[in-house]
Amino acid sequence: METLFRPGLDDEDDYPSRRSEEESTLQLQKALRRLDAYIDKCVANVKADIDNNPHKRKRVSYYASRTGGIDQQDLASAFKNKYKVTISQYQFQKRVELAAKLLRDRRVSLERIATKCGYSNTNTLSKAFKKAYNQTPINYLNSL
């Protein structure tokens, strides 16, 4: 802790407004706990948004801009620490899970599934599906 030189006032008791180092440490710890709780809440909100809107692709910068000051690297890092995947990986996972669910319905066309899951066409859906499930949507459908 940096001390200021004040001639004639050598005793700490002569500085009634000076907080003890212990009080300062406690206040800092309290502020850090509040910040951690706020970041946890923001991370939970990002996850909830993805869960509720898996078809919408949003960048980390979008989520960070809505947190009120948490930068995107800190938000991305906190998300990965909590859920063990990146925000992009989680979005990808939720989109293909939605596609798989819609495929099991069998009444929905592959084109409609691609659109509902936020893919531009059936080819991009098929590539993503194959990456996630190691098979094409059609093979997945036939295996049900």
Q: Report which of 134, 142, 139, 132 is spatially closest to residue 54, judged by C-alpha positions.
A: 132
The domain locations on the chain are 22-86, 90-143
| CATH code of the domain occupying 90-143 | 1.10.10.60
pLDDT category of residue 19 using cuts at 50, 70 and 90: low
**pLDDT by residue (tens digit) across 39-80?**
999 999 999 999 999 999 899 999 999 888 888 999 999 999
CA–CA dist 23, 86 (Å, integer): 38
CA–CA dist 95, 55 (Å, integer): 6
